[in-house]
Amino acid sequence: MSRNAASLDIAIVGGGIGGLATAAFLAREGFRPTVYEQAPALTAVGAGLVVAPNAARLLRRLGVFEELRARAVKLDIGWEFRRWSDGTVLSAEDLARACEELYGEHTYTAHRADLLDAIRGAVPDSALRLGRRVADVDLDGDRPLVRFDDGEELRPDVLIGADGIHSRVRSALGEASSATFSGICAYRALVPAERAPEFARRPAQTLWLGPDHHFVHYPVSGGDLVNLVAFGPAGEYSVESWTATATVEQFLAEFDGWDPRLADLITAADEPGRWALLDREPLARWSRGRATVLGDAAHPMFPFFAQGAAQAIEDAAVLAGCLAAQADDPAAALTRYEALRLPRTTDVQRRSHGRAEVNHLPDGPAQLARDEGFRAADPLVANGWLYGYDVDVALAS
């Protein structure tokens, strides 16, 4: 690392998982970044997520894994794919045995807030500036210009946009990533464990597949809650917001005729969230001069591989490594970061997009062939390209 690293002024816009992970990895390399977050407090919107081996390895490197582990759920039973109408098991994977053997880590599920809190523990208090809403970003000068809504301006040496799907930094790059409606909407809910049926409390990630829909559930928060997320046709619904809500009755109607055990699970939920999935093409570039983006600002993706948080954490680790290697030339470091990460995240985006068609097949020959493929293949081995990713190997390339 260059001796200039500590004096490099690095501004990170966004205090979500990607932004905090970037600050934490940069701090490990001797940098002193500042995170500018528009919210007055660091809170996690959303519910559950999967901490796959590629993310768990990096969280362990940050020194925050054990804190997360205290509230996460290790998937001892593993993955299950089930048929929509009667719960017939199409495929099951014993993650407790195989995952660590293949990838050096287990797979966990966690509440998003618990993951955010764990990563926050690796970020110095002095690095956080809350209640700072960005009004404008200008990249035309030698250094980026950031204007806040109260009139304050700053010109950091490096600007990192971790500001989500509606990123101001991405827009300033000239990469607007126009969105189209996918025709799919998502429901999510949390069910207190004491109200959840026994089958949903098991340490398993279960995916029920059916015509035009699929339904996922797994425990989070140390087993205190069960996370539900389900997908179906959006119809005229077009609200893309994690704070939008539906009713339990609407959720039930969407899965009418499915295995009655799912109706019991949905009925036990509190007010569900509902949002439309927008479709965005992968960006052609992420960086311009001394500015770049990561996480959802760089590669918003369908959630069908459960890799949104993991890919943001990978971005953070690679970006910190690139800046550590070329602190004297930040623009070159960002160019290298983009070259290392863009092909991988584009691959994850495209494969995740393709899962919608596979998961939502109507009953018939294609569905039968898919189900037979589940029985014949080992999905954990087949996904080695995803879970076996090594940041050090990438940085050495």
Which residues lie closer than 8 Å to 372 by C-beta, 6 or more apart? Answer: none
Sign of dihedral through CA atoms 275, 276, 277, 281? negative
Burial class (CB in 10 A: 0-12, 13-18, 19+), 365: exposed
Angle at which helix 308-325 crosses helix 330-359, to 10 degrees, equals 160
Would you call 218 a catalytic residue per the annotation?
yes
Q: With CA atoms as reference, report the closest residue to 189 among 303, 265, 261.
A: 265
* Strand partners of residue 229: 188, 216
Q: Which of 218, 337, 387, 389 is catalytic?
A: 218
Q: With CA atoms as reference, report the closest residue to 272 among 382, 184, 163, 188.
A: 188
Burial class (CB in 10 A: 0-12, 13-18, 19+), 257: exposed
Give every strand in the sheet of 73-74, ordered side by side: 48-51, 108-111, 73-74
- d(Cα 144, Cα 141) in Å, to the nearest integer? 6
Sign of dihedral through CA atoms 116, 45, 127, 156? positive
Residues recognised as catalytic: 218
